[in-house]
Structure 1
Amino acid sequence: MKYQSTLLEDAIKKFYNQLNIHNPSQLDMREIAKSLNIPIHFLPIHSRTYNGEIIIDSRLPPEIQWEDFGHELCHILLQYGNQIININTLFLEYQEWKANNFALHFCVPTFMLQKYKISTINEGIYIIKNKFNVTDEIAKKRLNHYRNQLIQSNSKTTYWFYK
């Protein structure tokens, strides 16, 4: 089956290739932040970005810290400004949705996921959870995204939209 990657998947692959990261064992938030010159702090407060720095909640387990890192990194790399002051609620929700989607693909990059033979949903969740150090919830979401993109890539139906 062929797979048509999305622009986000392509951008994340390019990003990781530039950092010479090719395998899940190389996914280390401290090293990634260091290579990007982004300060990262582990404090007992909710994860967030502040003045171009990432704060990760030190009370969380490592897999949630990794997911939070992906989310907060999106805010630094792809979004700008204070998200609390003077921002439309719908736009704030949109930015949060984009950051969650980015984190999903950042934490479990497609080009790495494609290296694994996955036969069942349960097997896929197990592989993703253990190889990429994410929660069951994120593993399941990521597997669904991947499966849906695979189905879409192999769809024989062409949709035409007219005015």
Structure 2
Amino acid sequence: MSFTTHTEDFIKKLYTQLGIFLPSQLDFKEIAYKLDIQLYYWENPSQALFFKGKVYIFLKEDLNEQEMWQDFCHELCHALWHSGSQRKMPYSWIEYQEWKANSFMLHACVPTFMLKKLLLPLGEKKAVQFICEQFNVEPEVAYKRLQHYSENHSDERYALLERSNYIGLC
């Protein structure tokens, strides 16, 4: 039996409420629009800001498409789960928030509920490339996400391997 984490459940609920069910629907501009988050591009590192009850995400303008998607998801975590200025926080709390935002990014870029529906190719290299193509992420992100998925949903991965063997794919 497989269990999901709070982050996986949150992202599934969020995306479902936004009408996002497929990897092809993962568009950070559309997500920002639906969540009433103002998006801006600038030369500085990406960040989320809160001003007068409104959320703003500033993305570093010279990032490639995959990096922008990944940065958006990282900053989305700050926008949805965090508050206040990190300038006034103890360093350990900043580290914790950044760790949470990085974890959130992996799950928001490559949602478990979508990954479960895909038939991943056998072999790590092929699976990573497939995830890159389906979810528009960089190979390092796809690899980390595949590792998390395999560790936390090993029973489903095993069932996939068994099904592949049974139908003669291996």
Q: Same fold (TM over 0.5)?
A: yes
How many Å apart are 1:65 and its aligned residue?
Answer: 0.4
Could you tell me which residue of structure 1 aligns to residue 36 of structure 2?
37
Look up the equivalent residue of 2:27 and give its one-letter code.
D
How many Å apart are 1:8 and its aligned residue?
Answer: 1.1
Instruction: Could you tell me which runs of 5 or more consecutive residues in structure 2 were left unpaired when the two chains were aligned.
Output: 158-170
Q: Which has the higher helix share?
A: 2
Could you tell me which residue of structure 2 aligns to residue 151 of structure 1?
154
How many Å apart are 1:117 and its aligned residue?
Answer: 1.5
- State the distance in 1 between where 2:70 and 2:57 align: 13
Could you tell me which residue of structure 1 aligns to residue 65 of structure 2?
62
Instruction: Give aligned pairs, total.
Output: 152
The answer on 1:95 being equivalent to 2:97 is: yes
State whether residues 107 and 132 of structure 1, in contact with CA within 8 Å, keep that contact through their aligned partners in structure 2.
Answer: yes
- State the distance in 2 between where 1:128 and 1:56 align: 23
- State the distance in 2 between where 1:6 and 1:58 align: 33
Instruction: Please point out which of 114, 135, 140 is paired with 2:138.
Output: 135
Identity of aligned residues (%): 42
1:35-79 per-residue CA deviation (whole Å, 9 max, x = no partner) reads: 111100112221111232000111010000000000001101000
Q: Which runs of 4+ in 1 moved over 6 A?
A: none
- State the distance in 2 between where 1:100 and 1:45 align: 19
The aligned runs of 1:10-29 (5 Å cut-off) are 10-29=9-28
Distance 1:153 1:129, change over 3 A: closer
The answer on 1:81 being equivalent to 2:84 is: yes
How many Å apart are 1:153 and its aligned residue?
Answer: 8.0
State whether residues 49 and 79 of structure 2, in contact with CA within 8 Å, keep that contact through their aligned partners in structure 1.
Answer: no
2:59 aligns to what SS in structure 1? strand
How many Å apart are 1:152 and its aligned residue?
Answer: 7.4
- State the distance in 1 between where 2:134 and 2:103 align: 19
- State the distance in 1 between where 2:12 and 2:44 align: 31
Alignment RMSD:
1.5
Instruction: Could you tell me which runs of 5 or more consecutive residues in structure 1 were left unpaired when the two chains were aligned.
Output: 155-163
TM norm structure 2: 0.85
